[in-house]
Structure 1
Amino acid sequence: MNNIKFYESSDYWEKRYSNNSDTWTLNKVNPVFVRIIEEKKFGTINDLLIIGCGKGYEACFAAQSNIRVTAVDFSIKALTSAEEDCKLKNGNPKFINMNLFELKKWGEKFDSVYEYTTFCSLNPDKIEELLWNIESVLKTNGIFITVLFPLR
């Protein structure tokens, strides 16, 4: 029996973006992320990986802030939208279509990894596995940044 949950399938995310039912997005850069970058809350970030980047608002912003950005997402539709938007804003992040659970196979290392809303989409049983994948792409003393808000 197939044990994969519907939201663990790239088809699910393609449909959500294609139908404009990506209701979790702010449709702009997360203001908390802006503060993190502009105020250097975690020091200078040179190499940033954004996981579950969606339409790439944070990726474009960080790239415009002279950070080398790699942004990954499960949805080609979201990444296409992100690439088009970044071209208009003169941002130059590298966008990659990837299953986040394959990060450890990748071999790249980053100063920082950022996520916003990605954990909300996961089966709770998968969170620890994703954290191990994130750790595998962080440089020594690298920083994992996540933005979590209460559901009130």
Structure 2
Amino acid sequence: MNTHEVFNQATDLTPYDVSDDASLLDGLDRAGGGWARDEVRQLGALAGGVEAQEWGRLANENPPVLRTHDRYGHRVDEVEFHPHWHDLMTVAVQHGLHASPWTDDRVGAHVARAAKFYVWGQAEAGHMCPISMTYAVVPALR
């Protein structure tokens, strides 16, 4: 039903390539991570795509829920996540955002990971916290 003209809202951005950023790509090249340009571009297109943006929206509208007990009263202490939270995390891990520089000896591995982290985080920021903590704990454990 069309009741009035809406003129004070931004238009839908999707799909857009969040990695279409000359400064980001130039910095990636200058800091030795140019070899990851194609993957950064792929991840940027995915992050700004309709599907990933919808994953982020649904993950944010359905926050994790702590379940301390099952329906029979037994202690379970588990957290339920929306399925798209897992989709977001899966893509992050598949692209090595959680640890790739610690196993990739190429020059610019940390810069490449940072660029991928930056673009993928624009799909949904909250899931990047555990990804970042996983990345950060490696040198602490060594």
The question of a shared fold, defined as TM-score above 0.5 by the shorter chain, is answered with no
TM-score relative to the length of structure 1: 0.30
TM-score relative to the length of structure 2: 0.31
* Larger Rg, first or second structure (1 or 2): 2
Higher strand share goes to which structure? 1
